[in-house]
Amino acid sequence: MSENAFGKLHTIEIDREFYENAVHDYTSYLPSLLNYVEFHFGDFRTVYSSVLEKEGTVDFLILDGAEDGQQTLEQYSFFLPYMKPGTILMVHDWLTAKTELLKPILENSDVWEIQRVLTPPDSVGFVLALRKQ
């Protein structure tokens, strides 16, 4: 984003301490990127409803919430209507219970193409998928 001087990264934390740490870390270590980052505190459904109404689409989404498969599926389902062909989806903890409900959807989908999977020892599981249609 800084190279093309365009774009906005929206990041959210539901835990106050994690939110404050994110703001602190970007301010301390990545101040040149602050023009491209918008920090949000609260529940994704409440906060991102208005953000998505304004933005209209999601070009890139990283799912990395609690170790809760149902929550990950809810997050995916919430953002899905805003993801168009070409959207990049990254999911952390691909090999844990966090993705047990989402994983078969992406692996068996005609809509998504899994481009890359990181596995141990490099990662606890991380997937990059591209929306085809």
What would the pLDDT profile of 22-44 be if each residue is shown by its tens digit? 999 999 999 999 999 999 999 99
Q: Are the C-beta atoms of 87 and 131 separated by less than 8 Å? A: yes
Domains of the chain: 1-56 (no CATH), 57-133 (3.40.50.150)
Q: Are the C-beta atoms of 128 and 112 separated by less than 8 Å? A: no
Question: Model confidence at 117, in pLDDT bands (50, 70, 90)?
Answer: very high
Angle between helical axes of 44-55 and 69-79 (0-180°, round to 10):
20
What would the pLDDT profile of 90-115 be if each residue is shown by its tens digit? 999 999 999 999 999 999 999 999 99
